[in-house]
Structure 1
Amino acid sequence: MTNKKMRLGAFVLTTGHHLASWRYPTAGTERIFDLDYYAEIAQLAERAKFDMFFLADAHMRPLSKDSYPGYQIDPVTLISALAAVTTNIGLTATLTSTYNEPFHIARKFNAIDHLSKGRAAWNVVTSFNSEEALLYGFEQHVDHSKRYARAEESIEVVKRFWSSIEEEAILNDKERGKYLDPKKIHPVNHKGEFFKAQGTLESPTTPQGHPVIVQAGNSEAGRELAAKTADVVFTAWQTLEEAQSFYRDVKGRLAKYGRQPDDLKVMPGAFIIVGKTEEEAKRKREELNSYITPQDGLAYLSLYNVLDFDLTGYDINDPLPEGVGQNKDSTNPNMRPALVKAIAERNNLTTLREIYEHVGGARGHREIVGTPEQVVDQLEEWFLNDGADGFNIMAPHFPEGFKDIVELVIPELQRRGLFRTEYEASTLRGNLGVPIPTNPLVQFT
């Protein structure tokens, strides 16, 4: 039995992670705009002692004219509401740095961190969908290399705002009539390539120093950004060897930024379908795959973040076309098509239907189908062999598929001593085991 404990996120995506989860009989499709629905899931995750409730975000559109588009509530607004109905679990929302200003980001997450008593986290992403530019009033999408440079500068400015008023600056001395200590206030004065910003937030640093920074991405730029700025990195790998290589690489970059290996938690995605028997788990997977229409299956594979190849007019029994999985633009690298192609080759998937049925759930992440013991065997192998510090758990559908994981997988993890039975701290940083940050503004004043 190990003394190490896994870190677990509950990765929540409207009706579930499977492409056709919305058609599953008990999926909460009709409840995706209902706060009570998300509160039930968050409270279930909290009872199971998950580290964090994790919300992705992307501006969605239907795969086809009449398919389910995956609409969702704004995640920042949602976690602010969930702060009132949870006590211990961390609350992570995705917000793109490509089309949001640092002051707005800093102000929103600082408020949620205060209201939740130190449980907020910002998942930093760079928008990959070129259509987002139009939504925000831009005619052209920001180039890939500039998106990461912008993200790095955005995080720097956000952190400065988070530290602009020290906690000790609030004197609240009613007798002397002094509310603030001016020496503890550090106005931001930033002029960079992408942003200009002056001034402070209207609220001080939070109980965990500042919100946790989560970053997702496997590219070179993404790894470097995670090593420099993140507390948690969310990633996607299929094999232990790939996961170990990434783990060593990103942890090995920390020292040059004055950081220790444990300062960054590596948490790959894990898509789990669990049953009391292996046969039951496989039947669940087959049922979910039966709900994927051929039209949606081909449209899904065509997406930029899947194969980035237009499969309109192909037959689902056709093989993968020549040229799929090759990087089209060296200045704008897209690693996901090569990853999906590798999955197809590794698993001997010979038709487009086999491919979309295989990746339509995990979407390039590790897929585990089996009994609680079989699921935990695979999680344990990665965890104990430097492939992961924990996992972002992806349920096939909500709420039933997630409840299966909570009731079957979590007890087995706890039985083996791999996961907590009680929260260790009151803040997300405390439960993740990442340090409280130092004030970056003191050196600038």
Structure 2
Amino acid sequence: MTKDRKIRLGAFVRGPGHHVAAWRHPDVPANPGLSFQHYADAARTAERGLFDMVFLADSLSARNGEQPIETFERTGHVVHFEPLTLLSALSTITQRIGLVATASTTYWEPFHLARLFASVDHLSGGRTGWNDVTSADAPAAANFSRDQHPVHADRYDRAEEFVAVAQKLWDSWDDDAFVADKASGIAIERHGIHAPDHVGRHFRVKGPLNVARPPQGHPVIVQAGSSDAGQQLAARTAEVVFTAHPTLESARGFYTELKGRLGGFGRSADSLKIMPGVFPVVAPTRTEAEDKFDAIQRLVDPVVGVALVSGLLGGVDLSGHPLDGPLPELGSSDAVKSRLKVVSELAASRNLTIRQLYLAIAGARGHFQIVGTPKDVADMMEEWFTGGAADGFNVMPPILPTGLTDFVDLVIPELQRRGLFRTAYEGRTLRENLGLARPVRGAAEHQERKAS
């Protein structure tokens, strides 16, 4: 651990906030998912707080076809902007903060995605990141002319190749390929062209990309899978990993295991930043923080709470089971395996009823949850950061905008006082601020050949 190592922070901006009842809170504007100003204010607040990045998740379906209408009509974050479109707009009202968006390797094509992210990287001056996901959202299949959602193993097989193709496309050009020499009439240096001509199991992509090499070389690659397949993909390709852990022990175990896989791909520990999610409810005193949390917990509709548990457990049918009784025995699922494991273990370890379980996950959804003072939150973050469990955190405000403002105004100064967080941005690009190297052109393709 280097002496000047600092905590990395992402602001996970999600419409009304992360609590399942956030949209009902009086401090949350109506329909925030459709307000650019709402997102712009959050991005500016995070930049004022010197966060490394704003992170936008995504989903490719509005409603699970089997979801009862009484659940759907009580859900407050159904519609939201397509994240890359939103990032393009946010790039015009921010200067330093990174802009990370989710895009699926299951339902996108590499050329399309590589072109979009390269474009936004240029537009933002080198501040983009791609959260590559395989989509556990089974209903999305019906929105993309497919009869069935691919199984977990097939999604990850496709994802491995997808990322490799995107990296080749970003490397289609040397950084100085576009000479634009008016005197000689040469616009492009022919030796600077590197068409991928990729032929693989899932994709045939000739290239080159019709966007110049991104300012960062490649947008920062973010990944959130914690299954064995997800960890292998992360160890090979990711530079930031978002992960969910409710305890220090589980976070430390994940951190050690994933960092230990990097050597097998010729990578150093510093080349990957692991950032667990944290759901902070913070106020000047613990009593105030607990009152804040209790107020939003009282807004949880039991119908929505049960649906939340069901979804995180892979769609298990909880109808007919009493709210104040135990979970039924769970079968296998092809959904988000890591989150299913976290939630089911939480229920078992605390012997929770269905009602107690949905209240326990209504905010953090399996991530670490802390309700307390700025010192309490900073103590927790310092313990995880110095204790081999995290390089930083993906902060999940309970409600927006006030939850993020509270964190910036109360917790950031405490972290800075301890010397754990920056007092100014170190660079202009997301890579520079995260302390990540700019990829050498062709290095990813060379690594792929070595691995095969």
- The interval holding the TM-score normalised by the smaller chain is over 0.9
CA separation of 1:141/1:30 partners in 2, compared to 1, >3 Å: closer, same or farther?
Answer: closer
The secondary structure found in structure 2 opposite 1:169 is coil
Which structure 1 segments of 5+ residues have no match? none
**Please, which moves more after superposition, 199-208 or 4-13?**
199-208
Contact 1:48 1:406 in 2 (8 A): yes
Q: Distance in 1 between matches of 2:351 and 2:28?
A: 28
| Aligned equivalent of 1:26 | 27
1:361 counterpart (336, 360, 363): 363
| Aligned equivalent of 2:147 | 139
Which amino acid in structure 1 is aligned with residue 317 of structure 2?
D
Q: Distance in 1 between matches of 2:242 and 2:231?
A: 10
The secondary structure found in structure 2 opposite 1:124 is strand
CA separation of 1:306/1:360 partners in 2, compared to 1, >3 Å: closer, same or farther?
Answer: farther
Q: Distance in 1 between matches of 2:252 and 2:31?
A: 40
| Aligned equivalent of 1:287 | 295
The secondary structure found in structure 2 opposite 1:411 is helix
Contact 1:274 1:369 in 2 (8 A): yes
Q: Distance in 2 between matches of 1:268 and 1:60?
A: 27
| Aligned equivalent of 1:350 | 352
Q: CA deviation at 1:65?
A: 4.2
| Aligned equivalent of 2:332 | 327
Q: Distance in 1 between matches of 2:352 and 2:314?
A: 15
Q: Distance in 1 between matches of 2:95 and 2:177?
A: 27
| Aligned equivalent of 1:391 | 393
Q: Distance in 1 between matches of 2:28 and 2:320?
A: 31
Which amino acid in structure 1 is aligned with residue 99 of structure 2?
L
Q: Distance in 2 between matches of 1:431 and 1:19?
A: 32
| Aligned equivalent of 1:42 | 43
Q: CA deviation at 1:124?
A: 0.3
Q: CA deviation at 1:423?
A: 0.2
Q: CA deviation at 1:341?
A: 2.2
Query: What does residue range 139-288 of structure 1 map to in structure 2 within 5 Å?
Result: 139-288=147-296
| Aligned equivalent of 1:55 | 56
Which structure 2 segments of 5+ residues have no match? none
Q: Distance in 2 between matches of 1:28 and 1:102?
A: 36
Deviations 1:345-383 (A, max 9, x none): 33x353211111110100010101100001110111000
| Aligned equivalent of 1:120 | 128
The secondary structure found in structure 2 opposite 1:40 is helix
Deviations 1:381-401 (A, max 9, x none): 000011000000000010011
- 1:380 partnered with 2:382: yes
Contact 1:79 1:93 in 2 (8 A): yes
Query: What does residue range 86-125 of structure 1 map to in structure 2 within 5 Å?
Result: 86-125=94-133
TM-score norm. by structure 2 comes to 0.94
Contact 2:63 2:139 in 1 (8 A): no
Q: Distance in 1 between matches of 2:48 and 2:15?
A: 20
| RMSD, aligned α-carbons | 1.8
Q: CA deviation at 1:298?
A: 1.1
The secondary structure found in structure 2 opposite 1:32 is helix
Q: Distance in 1 between matches of 2:72 and 2:392?
A: 38
Q: CA deviation at 1:279?
A: 1.0
- 1:409 partnered with 2:411: yes
Contact 2:314 2:333 in 1 (8 A): no
Contact 2:273 2:392 in 1 (8 A): yes
Tell me the number of residue pairs that the alignment of Structure 1 and Structure 2 aligns.
439
Contact 1:6 1:383 in 2 (8 A): yes
Which amino acid in structure 1 is aligned with residue 274 of structure 2?
V
CA separation of 1:315/1:341 partners in 2, compared to 1, >3 Å: closer, same or farther?
Answer: same
Q: Distance in 2 between matches of 1:437 and 1:132?
A: 33
Contact 2:313 2:344 in 1 (8 A): no
Percent of aligned pairs with the same amino acid: 45
Q: CA deviation at 1:205?
A: 1.2
Contact 2:57 2:83 in 1 (8 A): yes
- 1:315 partnered with 2:322: yes
Q: CA deviation at 1:2?
A: 5.3
Q: CA deviation at 1:32?
A: 2.0
Q: Distance in 2 between matches of 1:252 and 1:111?
A: 34
The secondary structure found in structure 2 opposite 1:254 is helix
Q: Distance in 1 between matches of 2:322 and 2:44?
A: 44
The secondary structure found in structure 2 opposite 1:418 is coil
Contact 1:275 1:281 in 2 (8 A): yes
